[in-house]
Amino acid sequence: MEKILAKLEILAEAAKYDVSCSSSGVERNNNGKGIGSSSASGICHTWTADGRCVSLLKILMSNNCVYDCHYCCNRITNDFPRASFTPEEIATLTMEFYKRNYIEGLFLSSAIDKTPDHTMENLCRTLELLRNKYLFNGYIHVKAIPNADINLIRRAGFSADRLSLNIELPTQDSLKILAPQKNLKSLLLPISDLGNKIITNQNDRRIYKNAPKFIPAGQSTQMMVGASNDSDHVFLSASQRLYDQYNLKRVFYSAYIPVVDKPNLPSIATAPPLKREHRLYQADWLMRFYKFDAKELLSEKNQNLDLDFDPKISWAFNNMDQFPIEVNKVVYDRLLRIPGIGPVSAKRIIEQRRLSPVTYEGLKKMGVVLKRAKYFITCQGRYFGGIDLNPEIIKYKLGDMEESRQLSFWR
Amino acid sequence: MDYLYDGSFNGLLTCLYEHYYSQKADNIFEASCYQVSMVNENRIIYPDDVKAKKVSEAIERLISKTALRYIYYVSLSNDMNKGKIILDFVKFGFEEKKDITVFFEHPCVHPICKIYKQVSVEVHRFTGLLRFSDLEGVLFAKYMPDHNITEVIVRHFADRLKNERFIIFDEGRKLAALYHEGSTVIADFDDVTFVTDSTEDNIRKLWKSYFKHISIKERENLKAQYQHVPVRYRQNAVEFIK
């Protein structure tokens, strides 16, 4: 017990920089034999002192790494306590936690222990042990190990709900400096292979109902923000490509926390760029749910997101000629462009309009954030902003209302 | 006329039946929290499964399935005016004879949607925050929800923990759901004190330690943590117990 406790501490500590913890995307009832189910919306089980949700038991199988990525606390050249779990230990821990409803499932990752193939094989064995021996039917997210054999990665895909391979840095140049053993092309290769395999699997399952499911919750990845000199424009363009070409479900951004002093990295005293990370998540949200394209938000000329205002309102300031918008007239996609209106309230407005015109008072009930929206809309022909439609004046009015809100809301 | 019912969903539906087939109701209350008044008369309605079924089918047919779910969730809430809110909603729905849940802004619809949201948020929250202890093969969870959500919560766990035996105990209402081999019983229940064995203690210790170490010190944000897990939800969560 003491041994497990010591290992758990080391390997949880080592896994904490992986931000993904979502357990969403798969709706699955208990299969009648074992334990577990999965809920499409995902379930958060608790929140840690940093305000992040805990949904999955997130651990490394081993932090014994042969790679030397400069930004990573597990790299081979770091003098650091090392530990490894056996597949059996991880399976037991997962089962005991799951039974007590501490967690929604497992998020298993690993440092490169001996070789990529050896590591990936170990991950596969753990997953198969959980699924076949313990009849675990809960959520499993597994990390694909860079440079591991594609067949091993695919094998994991038949036990896991979600598979992710962290790109960490959006350009080959940054990778070369900070992660000399990785290169972008070989990182994207398995992502593209799995993307195709997911589509084939979906088609197969249309014909053969009982064909085994292949990572039904899709793929995700993560990029570090602030470790390299890449601009927000580079990050968002990379994400757009990952969503469009590779069909990724999610891209996560993680504010880089300096763990080591190296000449080509921010100094150890640098605070993690939490605000920048937050803005990237907001922009990412706009791309996934608000039908924005990365090109609309940033360009070669305008490389970084405004830290003082959220990307949607910044976009509005740059496109004032499109406002004010009459909420009773425009289509859904145009409603989505209004700051203070989201997919839920936009849908409600459309439905309400079938019955009677939407009133200004009604907007509030529908969940529209009027203190933001009022400057950008007319309602039954009337403008309620009370000031000129001038970005500078609106900016002043919105002032510090912006962002006293918590930073990590979208986890 | 005030209608009083026993607090069950069928009781409430029977009240709606009587409203249409005998005497009009001005308001509907749970009998246990009714304040007798000199002005209003009252009548006790006993749940009648046949009448209740007729009403629920009518709601599904004339309004929508969603509407029935909304009404069910609102009936579980601790809102004192829920009877009146449901009555108004159903009256409006039977007049319109269409899915009125989309008319979010309407005064007969908005309160229903609001309370539905509150109850369903709490249900979702406890599907995550409920903590079981393994007491020699029986999983036992204790919690104190604002709304009477045990019968909804238990359905989630009856599927997830299909082959386990478990008890979910609502401390505030002294009510427990007992599950074993596919069947659930909801019954009055007295608080129990129990001694945990060493395995249970060890697993808790592991969980607490995990909880501590997975947090990133440089990003500490206790305010966000309080927003997500308010203090009243912490008393039964292992990781928050000192």
Quote the pLDDT of residue A335: 95
Of the CA atoms within 13 Å of residue B143, those in its CB half-sphere come to 28
Could you tell me which residues come within 8 angstroms of residue B18 by beta carbon, excluding any fewer than 6 positions away?
Answer: B3, B25, B43, B45, B51
Cross-strand bridge partners of residue B188: B175
Quote the pLDDT of residue A64: 92
Selecting from A5, A54, A362 the residue whose C-beta is nearest the C-beta of B214 gives: A54
Quote the pLDDT of residue A408: 43
Indicate the SS3 state at residue A36: coil
Find chain A residues with C-beta within 8 A of B211's C-beta: 46, 48, 54
Quote the pLDDT of residue A404: 44
Beta pairing class for A325-326 and A250-255: unpaired
Q: Is B211 on the interface with A (CB under 8 A)?
A: yes
| A29-63 residue pLDDT tens | 988 888 999 998 999 999 999 999 999 999 999 99
Cross-strand bridge partners of residue A383: A378
Selecting from B105, B160, B206 the residue whose C-beta is nearest the C-beta of A4 gives: B206
Beta pairing class for B27-30 and B42-44: unpaired
| B182-228 residue pLDDT tens | 999 999 998 888 888 999 999 999 999 999 999 998 889 999 999 99
* Nearest CA-CA partner of A246 in A186, A328, A191: A191
A408/B133 CB distance under 8 A: no
Indicate if the alpha-carbon torsion angle B226, B227, B232, B233 is positive or negative.
Answer: negative
CB contacts under 8 A, B 151-180 vs A, are 157, 159-164
Quote the pLDDT of residue A370: 92
Amino acid at B110: H
CA–CA dist A276, A232 (Å, integer): 9
Quote the pLDDT of residue A400: 53
Structure tokens at A264: 């080509």
Say whether the ipTM exceeds 0.90: yes
- State the helix-helix crossing angle for A311-318 and A274-289, rounded to 10 degrees: 70
CA–CA dist A210, B54 (Å, integer): 39
Find chain A residues with C-beta within 8 A of B106's C-beta: 355
Phi, psi of B132 (to 5 degrees): -95, 150
* Nearest CA-CA partner of B84 in B152, B121, B34: B34
Amino acid at A136: F
Tokens 């997210």 belong to A141
| Binned average pLDDT, 10 residues per bin, chain A of 411 residues | 91 87 86 89 94 94 91 87 95 96 96 94 97 95 94 95 93 90 90 92 89 92 92 95 92 89 84 92 95 92 91 93 93 95 94 88 91 92 85 80 46 37
Q: How big, in percent rounded to 5, are the helix, strand and coil portions of chain B?
A: 50, 15, 35
Average the pLDDT over B71-91 and give the result.
96
Asked if A119 and A74 count as a contact pair (C-beta separation under 8 A), the reply is no
CA–CA dist B55, B65 (Å, integer): 12
Quote the pLDDT of residue A386: 82
CA–CA dist A57, A21 (Å, integer): 9
Find chain B residues with C-beta within 8 A of A51's C-beta: 219, 221-225, 227-228
Asked if B8 and B47 count as a contact pair (C-beta separation under 8 A), the reply is yes
Q: Which of A47, A59, A103, A361 to mutate to test the interface with B (most CBs of B within 10 A)?
A: A47
CA–CA dist A363, A348 (Å, integer): 9
Q: Is A54 on the interface with B (CB under 8 A)?
A: yes
* Nearest CA-CA partner of A401 in A368, A372, A366, A379: A372
Amino acid at A39: S
Of the CA atoms within 13 Å of residue B100, those in its CB half-sphere come to 26
Quote the pLDDT of residue A298: 92
Structure tokens at B222: 């206790």
| A324 cis-preceded (ω within 30 degrees of 0) | yes
Indicate if the alpha-carbon torsion angle A380, A285, A216, A150 is positive or negative.
Answer: positive
Amino acid at A324: P
Quote the pLDDT of residue A145: 94
Q: Considering chain B, what is the average pLDDT of its residues?
A: 93
CB contacts under 8 A, A 314-373 vs B, are 348, 351-352, 354-355, 358-359, 362, 365-366
- State how far the alpha carbon of A339 is from the alpha carbons of A34, A328, A359, in Å: 47, 16, 18
Find chain B residues with C-beta within 8 A of A100's C-beta: 131-134, 139, 203, 207, 238
**For A338-353, what is the HEC assignment?**
CCCCCHHHHHHHHHHH
CB contacts under 8 A, B 123-142 vs A, are 124, 127-134, 139, 141
